[in-house]
Amino acid sequence: MKGLWLESSKIRFRDDLEKPIPRKDEALVKVRMAGICRTDLELLKGYYPFTGVIGHEFVGEIVDAPSSRDRIGERVVGEINAVCGQCRFCRNGLTNHCSNRTVLGIVSRNGAFAEFLTLPLANLIRVPEEIPDEKAVFAEPLAAALQILEQVHIRPQDRILLVGAGKLGLLIAMVIHRSAARLTVLARYDFQAEKLGALGIETVLARDRLTEPFDVVIDASGSPEGFDTALKWVRPCGKLVLKSTYRGSTPVDLAHLVVNEIELIGSRCGPFRPAIRLLGNDEVDPSILIDRRLPLKEGVEALQAASKSKGKILIDIRN
């Protein structure tokens, strides 16, 4: 099959990759469309020592399922953590932290920037007909945005600051805005402020000054500088939610965290079914983030474009 292969921090297009064979509890999925996110770009920089096909945001069609032939033909999205179900984390409901997990396109499992992938059937969720591929491909990052509401109880009177208005940041802003909390987004660029303003979301440009600390601060900046800004503006006894992943270590003023009794919350993958419901009900429209669609054979160029693009770059594998 054709796909994008990462090895020694170098990505290349290959047409000689071995087509995966699903195990008994898995399905073979023909990928229709995949999205490029910051984690993919960080993998190119050595964020995690992965060799194989990258990519984890996708929509596709089940074309083989040895133990569930009735599911063949389903259009699906997929939760990216394939888990053992036996370790103590799995037994305690913390499956995303399974000791033996593989992670699509990130840890020990080839990903979505190829014609085919495999995932456990339990990970694959059917996409209703009314949701087009261009929206369904956002299910994974939208679920990651929803995870914040799973972890933090946000009250209507809370003041929320979101640092970062990139692709994930914009999805987080849409999700938090629905909660009726008082949300302010700290954006870097005018075009980000314009998109948020069109959605009725209050935006402050990075060059402007904030005046008061916030109850909950979310860092989706993707940079150590963004983390510093987020830490600066969380109030004493407030919550700081971290959504960014990037290579390397970040110095942290631990005394500030301790003295101000700040609760630090790491946030990663989230619930897919609520994400699909939001997409199906048109409560969130992520398609406004799309910049370009490129075919798989131009995948290397797509990744290069994604590192510079103001919007989302999609890899279209349908033709």
Compute the radius of gyration of the chain from its Cα atoms.
20
Token readout for 273 is 């079914």
**What percentage of the chain carries pLDDT values higher than 70?**
99
Read off the pLDDT band of 239 (50, 70, 90).
very high
Average pLDDT, the chain: 94
Chain segment 273-287, per-residue pLDDT in tens: 999 999 999 999 999
* Domain 3-126+285-316, second-level architecture: Alpha-Beta Complex (3.90)
CATH superfamily of 142-266: NAD(P)-binding Rossmann-like Domain (3.40.50.720)
In the chain, domain spans: 3-126+285-316, 142-266
Chain segment 138-148, per-residue pLDDT in tens: 999 999 999 99
Cβ(81)–Cβ(101) under 8 Å?
Answer: yes
Q: Which residue has the higher pLDDT, 35 or 47?
A: 35
Integer Cα distance of 85 and 101 in angstroms: 9
Average pLDDT over residues 26-46: 94
Integer Cα distance of 92 and 73 in angstroms: 33
Integer Cα distance of 295 and 265 in angstroms: 37
**What percentage of the chain carries pLDDT values higher than 90?**
84
Burial class (CB in 10 A: 0-12, 13-18, 19+), 15: exposed
Cβ(220)–Cβ(266) under 8 Å?
Answer: no
- Model confidence at 21: pLDDT above 80: yes
Read off the pLDDT band of 156 (50, 70, 90).
confident
Read off the pLDDT band of 213 (50, 70, 90).
very high
The residue to which tokens 């000689």 are assigned: 16
Average pLDDT over residues 230-245: 94
The residue to which tokens 């101000």 are assigned: 260
* φ/ψ (deg, to 5) at 269: -75, 160
| pLDDT for the residue numbered 47 | 79
Q: Provide CB contacts within 8 A for 119, sequence distance 6+.
A: 26, 27, 29, 78, 79, 82, 104
- Model confidence at 247: pLDDT above 80: no
